[in-house]
Chains A and B, each alone.
Chain A
């Protein structure tokens, strides 16, 4: 019996340690203006790629420019206030999470990662 209790205690300790370690590893993001913009934060974490892919097809082919869910609008809010970009640093809004999840983003091979206002000023 005492062996079983010891085993359980050890498992509990391990899991608690693992939990703590995970929270240390979760990326700290520079979220720009931050807060809830267009949808609930948890929902966005799970579904932002579906919004973007639907938006991209509708905008390119049908000319529907729903600015609320556009990539440009994401960047407008979430680009870092330091360098006006969502990529480029380990804590950048897009790059930070995508590096953590090991999911490659190729949006920014064509799309600008900068706020429009910042881009216009740099020209």
Chain B
């Protein structure tokens, strides 16, 4: 019975959507750019596939885009990265000491299925959203930084200084821990994360890992990809190709 009702609801929604297209396409576009009032579901799992072959040594565009989108200082205040500036995404260079092969790749919160940061949080501030995005609820964060120690990827930062003039979509404040949110405010509006959009070589592929027809799921099925520290069994949402 409940299945039938759900289908009926879906049908009504779809027909309402079609009607909106027919009546006012402009209005529909406007609606798409807004967040949805419904809760996110675990039918979706957001993830990224990073193709290291396309990631250029010395290019920093993803980091710059992240800093701009989320209002991180990124060294702008001090003419170089200050020891207390937050870092949500960073570029790292790897070198195979025997063969001499070098690699460049972005490293950030890996949005684990079983996140250690969530396990250790004493207040429940560190949590995983139903669609797989790992976040900090800054209303509950007491700034103890256990999560920073637990994270194997060094992905989190602590805000040491008072902040002003934050992006209205990205609240940030002194005394709390923060990390890559996968640009959750953009995802909820139906947009891509800022880093994926900014990459000039399309090295970052963003999408729904749970949808078998999505580009990212097809790619993960067909090419070899790696999870960083797969031995920890965290099942990360960020995968690397050519690592």
User: Interface range on chain A: under 10, 10 to 19, 20 to 34, or 35 or more?
Assistant: 20 to 34
B173, A63: Cβ atoms closer than 8 Å: no
A109 to B34, CA, bound (A): 25
A121 to B129, CA, bound (A): 32
Q: Is A50 an interface residue (CB 8 A)?
A: no
Q: Is A56 an interface residue (CB 8 A)?
A: yes
Smallest Cβ distance from A51 to chain B, in angstroms?
14
Counting residue pairs across A and B whose Cβ atoms lie within 8 Å, the total is: 64
Contacts of A122 in B (CB 8 A): 165
A116, B169: Cβ atoms closer than 8 Å: yes
A4 to B179, CA, bound (A): 72
B35, A62: Cβ atoms closer than 8 Å: no
Q: Is B172 an interface residue (CB 8 A)?
A: yes
A60, B135: Cβ atoms closer than 8 Å: yes
Q: Is A101 an interface residue (CB 8 A)?
A: no
Which DSSP category, helix, strand, loop or mixed, fits chain A's interface? Answer: helix
Q: Look across to chain A and name the residue whose beta carbon is closest to the beta carbon of B128.
A: A61
Contacts of B176 in A (CB 8 A): 110
User: Interface range on chain B: under 10, 10 to 19, 20 to 34, or 35 or more?
Assistant: 20 to 34
Q: Is B167 an interface residue (CB 8 A)?
A: yes
A119, B36: Cβ atoms closer than 8 Å: no
Smallest Cβ distance from A108 to chain B, in angstroms?
9
Q: Is B130 an interface residue (CB 8 A)?
A: yes
Smallest Cβ distance from B189 to chain A, in angstroms?
8
A116, B168: Cβ atoms closer than 8 Å: yes
Q: Is A114 an interface residue (CB 8 A)?
A: yes
Selected contact of A110 from candidates B38, B40, B166, CB within 8 Å: B166
Selected contact of B139 from candidates A56, A62, A112, A116, CB within 8 Å: A56
Contacts of A119 in B (CB 8 A): 165, 167-168
Q: Is A111 an interface residue (CB 8 A)?
A: yes
B166, A61: Cβ atoms closer than 8 Å: no
Contacts of B162 in A (CB 8 A): 109
B171, A61: Cβ atoms closer than 8 Å: no
Contacts of A66 in B (CB 8 A): 37
Q: Can you list 26 A-B pairs with a CB-CB distance of less than 8 A?
A: A56-B139, A58-B39, A60-B135, A61-B127, A62-B40, A63-B36, A63-B130, A63-B131, A63-B188, A64-B39, A65-B34, A65-B188, A67-B34, A67-B35, A72-B169, A75-B168, A109-B173, A110-B138, A110-B172, A111-B171, A112-B166, A112-B167, A114-B165, A115-B168, A116-B168, A119-B165
* B residues neighboring A (CB under 8 Å): 34-40, 127, 129-131, 135, 137-139, 162-163, 165-169, 171-174, 176, 184, 188
